[in-house]
Amino acid sequence: MKFTDFLFVFIFLLTLIPVYFIGKNNNYRNAVLLLFSIIFYAWSCPWWLILLIVSVTGNYFFGLMIDKYRGTGKAKLGVAFSLILSLGMLVVFKYTDFFITNLNAVTGLGIPLTHIVLPIGISFYTFQIISYIMDVYWGKVEVQRRYDKLFLYISLFPQLVAGPIVRYSVVEKEIDGRVSTAEDISTGITRFIYGFGKKVIIANSLYDIAEKYLGGDIASLSVAGTWYAVILYALYVYYDFSGYSDMAIGLGRIFGFHFDENFRYPFVSRSITEFWQRWHISLGSFFRDYLLYVPLFGKRRQYASLFLVWFCTGFWHGASWNYIIWGLYFGVFIFIERMIGNKRLKKIPAPIMHIYTVLIFTVGFGIFYFNAEKGGISALGTFLGNLVGANGNPLIDIGTQTSFMNNIFLIVAAIVFSAPVIPWLRSKLQKTESGENAIGVSTIVTNMAIFAVSVILLVNSTNNPFLYWQF
């Protein structure tokens, strides 16, 4: 069940909301949310729910063990057991065939693949569990002694299958003490609709164009066609994932939860370091807090830790070499920027830094696209050659020119709204005498228009994927 499915919007949500708000007690509301979250997750495949239950149950007892034996070797043992269970499940279900494939390639063995189906959301809820266990061990949060409340935190449906990765510390107090105000509900609905529109109106349209180019005969693309396709793909990934995050944050807000932001207009960044401070913030902060400062290589070898983080960032995204290359690719540029230093980078004119950043992350999204199912390393090599005309491909072609002109309004809108245009307009309106009323009216009208157009497009749509479901 996806947030953009009619089943979710018109049946699941419209059933959940009145049932949830009938009761005023948070114990009742927690029970309702837990029940509906279980239904939401089990809808695609009931067997995946068993894995979720095993993971939550095991880590519930490990958390209690860590708290009971705090400061002793048994607490460390509890952390070890937790990591073995959580990461073990992730490795088995996500990376088994990757390891077998590469082992066969290196040794010549013919070990058959398992073809294990990746459970939806396992990468996200595994990291949430790890963050909870580590924060309990470090004394940053109190251990949750109620099993049902820990289960609710892990399985809460807005963020369960595709993030953002919500820390327990963010919702710890809201599990018991939240209040859904009229402002929360209104803001949550608006945020959900904006995300809904970003996904359905912009992301789906961009995907259709980009996939036509990148998913076809990549070797026949012109230089302009290759750049055109990868730019649209980069925009697609942003609108797809940030749209989902907006919907998740909006849904959480409706029910009184205040999730942290996951995107802050990353395309306006002036460096790759800044880009990753604005892009998929919950994942970047997870690796920063739970891996970067773990002294695996000693304090003097901070750059080894840096590349470990970016290796893990890439590998987390999927069992394919292109993701590892993608992670290390960004790690190289962050390493270079650290070597140059912030003071020197700030002296470089902003337009130059912005162009540099756009070029680097755009090429990065091309690396991201060519996983094993999309042609792998071979197709990636062709793509990179196409970017600079190294494959003898023409500079430009009529098809690309025609596609660009036919989709000019979509492209312009996607570029414009990837910048903080809406917050800027709101700030301008708030300075006028009738600003608040104008914002209120325009929000209602905009919400209705976005929702109506999105529903119409979904009725006629045959393709409505969520990219980050596969991770």
User: 73-107 and 122-137 helices cross at what angle (nearest 10)?
Assistant: 150
The letter for the amino acid at 151 is: F
Exposure string over 34-62, b if 16+ CB within 10 A, otherwise e: bebbbebbebbeeebbebbeebbebbbeb
Judge if the upstream peptide bond of residue 164 is cis by omega within 30 degrees of 0. yes
Active site residue 317: yes
Exposed, middle or buried by CB within 10 Å (0-12, 13-18, 19+), for 202?
A: buried
The CA-atom distances, in angstroms, between 336 and each of 41, 269, 274, 329, 396 are 42, 16, 13, 11, 33
Do residues 308 and 296 touch, judged by C-beta distance below 8 A?
yes
Q: Is 65 left (phi over 0), alpha (psi -120 to 50) or beta?
A: alpha
What H or E segment, with its residue span, contains residue 394?
none
Give the H/E segment covering residue 464: none
| 250-260 exposure pattern, b = at least 16 Cβ within 10 A, e = fewer | bbbbbbbbebe
Q: Are 314 and 327 in contact (CB under 8 A)?
A: yes
| Rg, Å, the chain Cα set | 23
Angle between the N-to-C axes of helices 147-155 and 46-68, in degrees from 0 to 180, rounded to the nearest 10:
130
List the catalytic residue out of 115, 258, 280, 317. 317
Cα gap 58→62, rounded to integer Å:
6
Q: How far apart are the C-alpha atoms of 195 and 243, rounded to whole Å? A: 4
Catalytic residue ranges? 317
